[in-house]
Amino acid sequence: MENGKVIPSIQTIYEICVELDISLSSLFDLNTNTSTLFKKVTEKIAELDDEDLSLIYSLVVKLKSNQNSHTY
């Protein structure tokens, strides 16, 4: 995205937000008090093409699933 090679679809961005449990507006809101790590991650994600975003999405889904299955 950032380098102008590929622009992910709104659907892809939306699905990533759903899995990260954040709103679309918070993803693009630079004035929120998000952690430095979260900002670094989202900056790197913004540079990925749709194929890599799909891989990240799958990973987030898997991590979220594992997290939900290990509820204490």
- How far is CA 51 from each of CA 37, 39, 61, rounded to the nearest angstrom? 23, 21, 16
Q: How far apart are CA 16 and CA 14, in angstroms?
A: 5
- Helix then strand then coil, % of the chain, to nearest 5: 65, 0, 35
Q: How confident is the model at residue 50 (pLDDT cuts 50, 70, 90)?
A: very high
Residue 31 has pLDDT above 80, yes or no: no
Residue closest to 24 by CA, chosen among 41, 12, 36, 35: 12
Q: What's the pLDDT score for residue 41? A: 87
**What would the mean pLDDT of 20-43 be, rounded to a whole number?**
77
Residue 8 has pLDDT above 80, yes or no: yes
Contact status, residue 47 vs residue 3, Cβ threshold 8 Å: yes
